[in-house]
């Protein structure tokens, strides 16, 4: 079928990564088309995110990319006059366990090497940073003040508005069902409504990425697993940072859990189940709230009076090693993979989008080589990211 329109770049997926990518490309003067099977920007797993934005990772790729994201998000309102709900309260990881203390302390020099502002603080300071935190057995923790929170509802609107000002076209309710190819080159996409050609295609299809393996004839190692989150009614503002408790839960069902207080005063929270729920089931399950409530009250006893307003479920698009793939698709010219964002797509998206735009416009990534190497498509996927 002949393509009915030609672009410089087609972005498949208008989520946490595709939408900022479109913005950076359009800002650089590219003619961009964004396609999404859903009805609006950020309606995939983007809107499931609780808004945490940290450069506190163990992997140089994620640290460098998220530092870029923080720079973009924290300056967005000043630059574009649009409030994205940014709150710069940092991230705090209170520690009660000797082995967790050791692993976090061991990471600090490495994190600093890639530009992260992070320090180990004693138990008294943790109690100032996280008022009301349970002091029994508290050993101290890490604090990275440059991290923060953003609204996963406002951010997609912000990126789409600016991208459109620079001429980007958005087509919603339109599903990519195939790719146009000439030999080993991807030359466009076929959708359920037509076909479009382009110099470049960026695949940013989130939890659906693996479905494109067959369409493209390459293996895309992304497996979604589902996670639940919730939000309370607003309470008086008392908490600045987003807090992560890395301990496994006493009930045997949870790994880490994390929460913060958004600008509206609501407590927003999430946990990682010990046994992952592989697949794309987005139905809430009954065990989430009782289990999570137990953990929250143990860490901050005054949460016993919290009124929970809503819970929801979404997917982490996981790679085997917990690190995204942001790379040229070797063997297929004209295609960039921007998939496997795991539990950090919202925070990675703005920086990843800037990097992808640089790969297309300048032919080269804009983060350090050591960081970019982490995102290679042809790596062995045997590593493990400690703070995924």
Q: Binding residues for ligand FAD, per CB under 6 A?
A: 12-18, 35-38, 43-46, 48-52, 175-176, 204-208, 227-229, 270, 314-317, 341-347
The strand pairing partners of 367, in sequence order, are none
Tokens of 333: 């010219």
Give CA–CA dist 193/178, Å, rounded. 11
> Which residue, 140 or 256, has its beta carbon nearer to ligand FAD?
256
> Which residue, 140 or 201, has its beta carbon nearer to ligand FAD?
201
> Which residue, 22 or 366, has its beta carbon nearer to ligand FAD?
22
Query: CB of residue 13 vs ligand FAD: minimum separation in angstroms?
Result: 3
The strand pairing partners of 244, in sequence order, are 258
Are 249 and 292 a contacting pair, CB within 8 Å?
A: no
Are 316 and 286 a contacting pair, CB within 8 Å?
A: no
Query: CB of residue 180 vs ligand FAD: minimum separation in angstroms?
Result: 14
Query: CB of residue 11 vs ligand FAD: minimum separation in angstroms?
Result: 9
Q: What are the backbone dihedrals phi and psi of residue 214, each rounded to the nearest 5 degrees, phi first?
A: -65, -40
Helical residues (DSSP H) of 166-248, grouped into ranges: 211-216
Number of H helices, E strands in the chain: 10, 19
> Which residue, 140 or 151, has its beta carbon nearer to ligand FAD?
151
> Which residue, 37 or 295, has its beta carbon nearer to ligand FAD?
37
Give CA–CA dist 182/370, Å, rounded. 33
Give CA–CA dist 134/327, Å, rounded. 43
> Which residue, 52 or 241, has its beta carbon nearer to ligand FAD?
52
> Which residue, 19 or 140, has its beta carbon nearer to ligand FAD?
19
Query: CB of residue 271 vs ligand FAD: minimum separation in angstroms?
Result: 9
CA atoms within 13 A on the CB side of 109: 2
| Pairing relationship of beta strands 242-245 and 91-95 according to DSSP bridges | parallel
C-alpha distance across the termini of the chain, in Å: 42
Query: CB of residue 355 vs ligand FAD: minimum separation in angstroms?
Result: 14
Query: CB of residue 313 vs ligand FAD: minimum separation in angstroms?
Result: 7
Which residue is at the shortest CB distance from ligand FAD?
15
Query: CB of residue 272 vs ligand FAD: minimum separation in angstroms?
Result: 10
Are 226 and 315 a contacting pair, CB within 8 Å?
A: yes
Distances in Å between the alpha carbon of 293 and those of 227, 237, 252, 302, 325?
16, 20, 14, 11, 35
Place of tokens 């390459």: 218
> Which residue, 106 or 264, has its beta carbon nearer to ligand FAD?
264
Query: CB of residue 122 vs ligand FAD: minimum separation in angstroms?
Result: 27
């Amino acid at each position: 079928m002949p393509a009915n329109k030609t672009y410089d770049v087609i972005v498949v997926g208008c989520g946490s990564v595709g939408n900022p990518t479109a913005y950076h490309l359009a800002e650089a003067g590219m003619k961009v088309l964004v396609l999404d099977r859903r009805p609006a920007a950020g309606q995939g797993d983007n809107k499931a995110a609780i808004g945490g934005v940290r450069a506190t990772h163990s992997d140089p790729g994620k640290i460098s990319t998220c530092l870029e994201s923080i720079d973009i998000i924290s300056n967005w309102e000043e630059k574009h006059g649009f409030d994205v709900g940014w709150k710069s309260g940092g991230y705090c990881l209170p520690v009660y366990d000797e082995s967790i203390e050791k692993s976090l302390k061991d990471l600090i020099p490495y994190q600093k090497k890639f530009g992260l502002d992070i320090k180990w603080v004693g138990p008294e300071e943790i109690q100032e940073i996280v008022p009301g935190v349970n002091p029994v057995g508290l050993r101290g923790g890490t604090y990275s003040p440059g991290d923060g929170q953003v609204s996963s509802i406002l951010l997609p609107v912000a990126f789409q508005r600016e991208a459109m000002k620079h001429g980007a076209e958005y087509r919603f309710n339109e599903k990519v069902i195939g790719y146009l190819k000439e030999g080993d080159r991807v030359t466009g996409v076929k959708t359920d409504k037509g076909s479009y050609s382009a110099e470049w295609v960026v695949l940013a299809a989130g939890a659906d990425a693996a479905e494109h393996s067959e369409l493209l004839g390459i293996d895309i190692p992304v497996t979604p697993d589902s996670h639940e989150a919730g939000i309370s009614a607003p309470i008086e503002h008392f908490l600045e940072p987003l807090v992560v408790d890395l301990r496994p839960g006493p009930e045997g069902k949870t790994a880490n859990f994390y929460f913060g207080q958004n600008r509206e005063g609501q407590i927003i929270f999430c946990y990682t189940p010990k046994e992952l729920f592989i697949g794309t089931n987005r139905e809430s399950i009954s065990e989430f709230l009782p289990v999570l409530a137990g953990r929250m009250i143990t860490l901050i006893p005054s949460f016993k009076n919290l009124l929970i307003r809503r819970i929801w479920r979404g997917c982490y698009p996981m790679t085997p090693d917990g690190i995204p793939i942001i790379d040229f698709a070797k063997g297929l010219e004209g295609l960039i993979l921007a998939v496997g964002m795991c539990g950090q797509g919202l925070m990675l998206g703005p920086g990843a989008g800037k990097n992808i735009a640089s790969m297309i416009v300048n032919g080269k990534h804009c983060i350090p080589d050591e960081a970019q190497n982490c995102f290679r498509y042809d790596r062995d996927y045997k590593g493990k990211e400690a703070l995924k």
